[in-house]
Structure 1
Amino acid sequence: MFNRLFSGIKSFVMSSTIKPDVVFVLGAPGAGKGTQCENIVKQFGFVHLSAGDLLREERNKEGSEYGELIEETIRNGRIVPVEITCSLIEMAMKKSGSNKFLIDGFPRNKDNLDGWNRQMASNVNLLFVLFFDCPQEVCVNRCLQRGAGGSGRSDDNPESLKKRFHTYMNDTMPIIRYYEEKNLVKHVDAGGTPDEIFEAVKAIYQNMPPCN
């Protein structure tokens, strides 16, 4: 059922003679990934692709055949099948016209990783994984405050957060360890203020080799 979504992806990969530069952005729910990605976009010119935002956009699209599946999966703190997530990311890359991407919230489990390695790893230049490391208590408080402020996210509530953190610890942390073994992880202490966190992020980017 995912064939149509994949049809637009291969044309993007095959049409580009220069591999796009990619930074994966990972961290627990509420670690501040979205806020810092906005800062990186402004200062370093990357295009921010949030896996979660792309899925929510697809979920809310009128007539989407995947909307119900995405909503049920997100609400229960599970991870959407890689066939859907990967295809939405790649189509957004094609649409942007850019060659520098922050991919936020992906890969989040082994299935995501295997799907990425199978479909895209050889077609992009993975610069590094930006890992926002933040205490769970701080993350939970941030998510609850975000939900109370009308974030519009159906998973910013205590019940969903318990499931999301269980998924994060069991599924996403092994991905961090996988990339650590490849010396590709840049750790950021994400427990401070947004400005403090971005100072650490800037240091990483300013020491990064030039992009394509």
Structure 2
Amino acid sequence: MLNIVIFGPPGSGKGTQSEKIIAKYGLAHISTGDILRQEIKEETELGKQAKSYIDQGELVPDATIIDMLEKKLETLNNEQGVIFDGFPRTVDQAGALKKMLQKRGEDVNVMLNLEVGREELIQRLLKRGEVSGRSDDNLETIEKRIHVYEEQTSPVIEFYKAEGSYHAIPGEGSIDEIFERISNAIDSVK
């Protein structure tokens, strides 16, 4: 089993690179963002709660995300591994993921941290907002999301450094250049 955490601030290219990793390595994809957007679209109770946090640029509470992820993991069978996209976002979530995987006799093999400068992130997200129409891709919310990431999420890096699975990936350049860096990191742990 190959379990990968793809990490980075909003707009760093996690979704784009996840698709390429899935295609190359045959992994299942768990995107908490996709799951939350689906819940919001279906107007479920979870979706309504999540939307109130997301619209303010805040993180959805750990307990909600962890429960949702555990249910999703239980639906996977005979996968070659999983790429976790958008999870974990806090140290508590990272610890919960470690416990979930240990129950399955697994662990996170590699944590890929996409490093992108603040101005580049803002430009990418504004462009994505124009193209996709995502309501959370406006300047005020983007700046708040980046701030929340820096304050609450970046400590997860230290967790994975201590675990020995951390790999910094320069996240600027062409999609293929970035993917080559990612592939080299993954191949080094396989």
User: When the two structures are superposed, what TM-score results if normalisation uses the length of structure 2?
Assistant: 0.90
Amino acid at match of 2:65: T
1:135 paired residue number = 117
Distance in 2 between the 1:95 and 1:152 partners?
31
1:8 paired residue number = none
Cα root mean square deviation, aligned: 1.7
2:158 paired residue number = 177
2:107 paired residue number = 125
Summarize deviations over 1:51-89 as a string: whole Å, max 9, x none: 111111112224x11221100111111111122212222
Amino acid at match of 1:74: I
Contact residue 111 and residue 166 of structure 2 kept, 8 A: yes
Match of 1:52 among 33, 36, 39: 33
SS at match of 1:48: strand
Where do residues 1-212 of structure 1 align in structure 2 (5 Å cutoff)? 21-62=2-43, 64-97=44-77, 98-117=79-98, 119-123=99-103, 124-149=106-131, 151-209=132-190
Contiguous gaps of at least 5 residues in structure 1: 1-19
Distance in 2 between the 1:41 and 1:164 partners?
26
SS at match of 2:45: coil
Summarize deviations over 1:7-62 as a string: whole Å, max 9, x none: xxxxxxxxxxxxx5421111011100100000001111111111111111112224
1:7 paired residue number = none
Contiguous gaps of at least 5 residues in structure 2: none
SS at match of 2:75: helix
Distance in 2 between the 1:33 and 1:199 partners?
14
User: How many residues get paired?
Assistant: 187
Query: Per-residue deviation at 1:99?
Result: 4.4
Distance in 1 between the 2:80 and 2:64 partners?
22
